[in-house]
Structure 1
Amino acid sequence: MTTLVLLSGWGIDARIWRSLAPYWPVDVVVRTPDWPGYGERAHDILPTTLPALAGKMRDDLPCDAVWVGWSLGGLLAGALLSHLPPPRGLVLVGTGPRFCSEDGVRPDELAIFRRAFDRDPHTTWQHFLRWQLQGEPAARIAHRRLLDLQGRNPSASSQTLATGLDQLARLDLSDVLATLPCPIHRLAGERDKLMGSAARQAADRLLTDSGHCPMLSRPDALANHLVELAREIDLDHIGQDQSVS
C-alpha cells in the first residue's frame, strides 16, 4: 500500500485536493492534512519558525509516506526535512528552489504584493487566486472550480496569510536539493507562470496543458503522475531494504 500526504499552498486549504479523488487507485492511501491556521485547523496559528511548525505537523507527516507539497506547501515540506524524520520521498509540485526568481516572480513583484496585502488582505487574496491561474488552458473555468472548493473567503486569518508570505519570500531549498535527504522529484506545469523557466526545465516531469494549478485543470494527469512517482519511490525503497538484508 502506497501512502501519499498532500500539502496545499499559500492561501489555499486541503480542500484543493478534492478534485483528484476520482482518480486514485484503490491501493493508494491519500491524506490531506491542513497546515496550522488553515481549513479544519483555522483556530490554530501558523508558526513563524520551522521547529515550531515541525512540532505541530509531526503526526501528519509520517516517515513511511511520500509527501507531496504544492507551491508554498512544497517549500515548507522541503524545509521540514531538516526538522522531521525524512519520508520515503518528496514530490514538489509547482515548486522551485525558491518562490522568487528573475525569470519568474521577481522579488520586487512579491514585495509589491505584500504591501498590497498589508493594505487590503481580502482583495489581495482574491487577486492571487486569479494570478496563479493565468497559465491554465481555461482560467475562468479553473477559477470557478477553485471558488467551488475554497469559497470566496480564505479559511486562514490575515496573520496566518502574512506569515505564509514571509515564508514565500525567504525559504530556499537549494541545499536540500543538493544534498537530497530523501528521494525528491519535481513536477511542474509547462505553462506555470509562477515558476521561472529554469525551475520548470529542472523538473523531472512536465504536465502539458497546465499551469500552476494542475489539480484544477488536469486532475487526472496530476493524480497519475503522483501515483507513478510514489510507486517508483516505493520500489527504490524496497530495493534498498533488500540490498541491506
Structure 2
Amino acid sequence: MNPINALHVPAPAPAPTDDHGATAVVRERRLTAHPQPSPMPADEVTAQIDALLGQRHAVVFIGFSGLGYEHPGHVCARARQVLDAALRDHGQEGVAMIIGGTTEGIGMLYEVVANDPLYREVLCVGVVSEQVRRECPQSLSPACADALVVVPDPGGTWEVRDATGAYSYTPYPAQSGRGEVWVFGGGQVAAAEVECAHGQGVDVQLVDARPQPELLAGKLRQGKTPQQLMPINSRYFTAAQGPA
C-alpha cells in the first residue's frame, strides 16, 4: 500500500464561495522574510515546542480572535486547502497545526480539524499567553489540551514573547524551513506576530479576511479606528495596493 494513501490525504477542499454560490475572490499577499533573521532562543518554551512537533511540518495560523470573521466559511475553506497541501507534501513526516490555543476567531479551525476524520493525523497545538489561562480558561480549545504551550507573560500583554520581549514563539515552529505561516487578518496582536515572523526569517502568506461586521461596528462605536481593529487589512490590503 502506498504510505501516503495510508495517511488518508483528503481530497482538495472546495474553493470559497460567496453568498450566491459563486467562487469568492480572495486577495492574498506574500510577505518575504527578512534576509538576516533574528536568532532563535533555546529555552524551555522552544524545547517544549520542539518536543511536541518532532519532525512534523508546521502550519501556523494567525488571525482575529474576539472579532470573529465576516465569512468564516471562506476562512475554513482556504485553511483546508492549506492543510490538504501540507498533508500531500509532508504526509510522511506528519503535520501539526499551530494556533493561539483558544476557540475564538481563527481558533475555529481547531474544531474543523478535530471533527474531520480526514485530518486525524494533524496534531493540534496551542501556543498561548498564561494570561489566557488566568483570565479566560474557558476559551481554551479542548482540541489542543494535550499539546498546549503556555508562555510566561508577567506583563499581562496577551502575547507570547521571550523574556526580552523581542522574540515571538508563534512563528517559531515555521523557522528554518520547518513550516509555513498563514495570516487571515487580525488585530494588534496578530499584526505584531506578522512583524515578528518577518524579522525571524519566516515568509508570511497574508489573506484578506475581514471581521464580523456587527462586532466590528460595536468597537467602532466605542471610538476605535479600522486601523486599530484590523491593522493587517489596512496595511496590506488597501484599495491602492490591490492584490499581490
* TM-score normalised by length of structure 2: 0.33
User: Which has a greater percent of helix?
Assistant: 1
Q: Provide the TM-score with structure 1 as the length reference.
A: 0.33
